[in-house]
Homo-oligomer: A and B are copies of this chain.
Amino acid sequence: MSETSAFAPLPEPPYHAVIFASLRRGPDLGYADMARRMMALAERQPGYLGVESCRGEDGFGITVSYWQDAAAVAAWKQQAEHLLAQKLGKARWYAHYVLRVARVERHYEGPEGRPH
């Protein structure tokens, strides 16, 4: 991985963030495949800006996707719910999750300018 490939681009604020915190449980049962599909679907959505994601060894993870505006978030929510509804249910993969929709007002980066 390059030093910045895990970071989402930084468009001019304001933009929106969907913060998805989750605790995975049990065996994979198709989770990795679903997660890949979700990311591929997100990238094709209008207003998609990027995503940042990590999961620790304890199963707790955070994925933040970034969107141009509230309309893009709403459209993505509909698509994501449709995809999940086709699957065997969220309860299968997560012990618990919290999803927050937020408006990014400003950002900073460091410790030096981001290489491009």
Residues of A within 8 A of B (CB): 1, 3-4, 6-8, 10, 17, 19, 21, 23, 25, 52-58, 60-62, 64, 89-91, 94-112, 114
- With A55-B56, A107-B100, A114-B96 as given contacts, are A21 and B7 in contact (CB-CB < 8 Å)? yes
Main secondary structure of the interface of A (DSSP, over half): strand
Within the oligomer, what is the number of copies of this chain? Answer: 2
What are 25 A-B interface contacts by the 8 Å CB criterion?
A: A1-B58, A1-B60, A3-B95, A4-B23, A6-B21, A6-B23, A7-B98, A10-B98, A17-B17, A17-B19, A19-B104, A21-B52, A21-B64, A52-B60, A52-B62, A53-B62, A54-B54, A54-B61, A91-B112, A96-B111, A96-B114, A97-B110, A101-B105, A101-B106, A103-B105
